[in-house]
Amino acid sequence: MATRKIKKSITEKEYKFLMSHARGDDSLKTFNRDRFLMIFSFLFFSGIRINEISQIKYKHIKEIFENGETVIVAHKTKNERVLFFSENAIKEIRKYFDPAKNDEEDFVICSWGNPKTKLHDISLINLVNKYMNKVLGEGFTSHSFRQGILTEMGSRSINPKIMQSFIGHSDVKTTLRYVKPTAADVKMSLVR
Note whether 163 and 150 are within 8 A (CB). yes
Taking each helix axis as running N to C, give the angle between helix 12-24 and helix 30-46, from 0 to 180 degrees, rounded to the nearest 10.
170
User: Is the model's pLDDT at 3 over the cut of 60?
Assistant: no
Residues in the chain: 192
Ordered domains of the chain (ranges, CATH): 12-183 (1.10.443.10)
Q: For residue range 114-144, what is the model confidence (pLDDT) as tens digits? A: 888 888 888 899 999 999 999 999 989 999 9
Tell which residue, 104, 65, 110, has the closest CA to residue 83. 65
Give the C-alpha separation, 80 to 168, whole Å: 9
- pTM of structure: 0.87
